[in-house]
Amino acid sequence: MKLLYSFIVLAFLFCASVAQTKPPTETAMSRFLRYVKIDTQSAEDQNKVPSTAKQWDFARLLEKELKELGVQQVRTSEFAIVYGMIPGNLPDNSKVPTIGFIGHMDTSPAVSGANVNPIIHKNYQGGDIVLPNDKTQVITVEKNPDLKNLIGDDIITADGTTLLGSDDKSGVAEIMTMIDILRQNPQIKHGNIAIAFTPDEEVGGGIEKFDIKGWGAKFAYTVDGEELGDISNETFSARTATVTFHGVSTHPGTAKGILVNSMYAAGDFLSRFPTEVPNRPETTEGRESYIHPYVGTLDIETSVVKILLRDFDISGFAGLEQKVKDLVAETQKKYPNVKIDYSSELGYLNMKEVLKDYPQLTDFAIEAAKRAGVDAHLKPIRGGTDGSRLTAMGLPTPNLFTGGHNFHGKLEFNSRKGLERSTETLVHLVQIWAEKGGK
């Protein structure tokens, strides 16, 4: 009897502690479904930020919603970057660093983001998912093994004609819902939290206009990753090489002995890659580096080939550059009359070069994920993020998962659990900073 009594008391205490966290006024799922319907596609090669005027619609909405959620110092810059601050509720907020969270508002130029029609596949029971408005678009278990972890979950996809915009409306919805939960639950202790939503992440433009100093965060997280548990503190370091082939142009009717066609040299140079460069994007994965000719122009007088060089370790660039220079030398030998120039410039740096000095950023994130029931791990990104730029600009910023999959395409998806667990991770993360992040 006594045992039963203790059990009842324990059960009551357990329920009371669970019930202590009040739900948000709007779920992450509901916010997400609203946000994806707003077309925020960015555009390449625009000389302005934001690159498309429609991103303002979302910026204005977020500004309004942040104010409604009681966020302080809400402002939208002339570049459509939305900033805000949630004051801490600790006895002395100056004892823990201000932590920032960033989501991006735009969607990829690769696939239309207009008239997104989100479909909820309730209580998913396994198998491939055929998208209803274009039956050739199929999310297969074979290519998406994570589907096996989503049995019983509600999966959200587009209808097959557009992308979903989970990248990064998921991150934005999760950050907004974290704010909502913190407002509903003043018993959750946290330091100062800075919030920002940025345009033009997909075209690499918005982050250069970011006001790091005015924002006030000491450390930040982009909430822009994929599968539950993926946390990234490592990106590629990037260089771009340019090889220019100089020929001599003249009228073809009187060209004998004069004309030098640079296109042949460029073609010879490119033809060497498949056999002489083993590390190309199509042959590498994980931490492997690559060399990738990605764009070029052909003309008799001047031909240009641009080449991406990517390595996680900056010391690897010397070898990658030497390989390209060797190919240039071979082509030069074959085409002595074509003058060939080589140049290269640094793009972005692996954020690990800086983040290795701040291991608590990812340690705390992994712990937060664990408290939210997510098994987290560090995963290098074979690309760059806004966080790699911010880290280089002085604001250490790793990247957190959002639960999303298949970014930049019509097969993009997320799930209710993905959105909820990611949101819970953020709520735990600010608490862990308050518990352990003291100076």
Shortest separation between residue 49's beta carbon and Zn ion, angstroms: 16
User: Nearest distance from residue 108's CB to Zn ion, in Å?
Assistant: 8
> Least distance in Å: CB of 57 to Zn ion?
19
Q: Which of 118, 69, 192 lies closest to 419, judged by CA?
A: 118
**Which residues neighbour 239 within 8 Å (Cβ) at sequence distance 6 or greater?**
308, 309, 317, 320, 321, 344, 345, 346, 347
Cβ proximity to Zn ion, 63 vs 224, nearer residue:
224
Which candidate, 214, 182, 223, 220, places its Cα nearest to that of 99? 220
Whichever of 171 and 437 has its CB closer to Zn ion, that residue is: 171
Q: Which are the contacts of 36, defined by CB distance < 8 A and separation ≥ 6?
A: 116, 118, 164, 165, 166, 169
Question: Could you give the count of Cα atoms lying within 13 Å of 165 in the half-sphere of its Cβ?
Answer: 31
Tell the smallest beta-carbon distance from residue 167 to Zn ion (Å): 4
Other C-beta atoms lying within 10 Å of the C-beta of residue 146: 16
Min separation Cβ 402 and Zn ion, Å: 8
- Cis peptide before 168, with omega less than 30 degrees from 0? yes
Q: What's the one-letter identity of residue 351?
A: M
Tell me how far, at minimum, the Cβ of 107 lies from Zn ion, in Å. Answer: 8
Question: What positions carry a catalytic annotation?
Answer: 106, 201
Cβ–Cβ under 8 Å, residues 40 and 53: no
| Phi, psi dihedral angles at 12 (to 5 degrees) | -65, -45
- Least spacing, CB of residue 110 vs Zn ion, in Å: 12
Q: What is the dihedral of CA 202, 205, 208, 213, to 10 degrees?
A: -60
In angstroms, what is the minimal distance from the CB of 405 to Zn ion?
12
Written as one letter, the residue type at 197 is F
Q: What ranges in 335-377 are assigned the alpha helix state H?
A: 352-355, 360-371
Helix (H) or strand (E) holding 343: strand 339-346
Burial of 240 (0-12, 13-18, 19+ CB in 10 A): middle
Q: Which residues bind Zn ion (CB under 5 A)?
A: 167-168, 224
User: For residues 168 and 424, which CB has a smaller minimum distance to Zn ion in the complex?
Assistant: 168
Question: Is-cis flag, bond preceding 50, omega within 30?
Answer: yes
Contact indicator for 188, 427 with CB cutoff of 8 Å: yes
Compare residues 65 and 226 and give the one whose CB is closer to Zn ion: 226
Whole-angstrom Cα distance, residue 351 to residue 287? 14
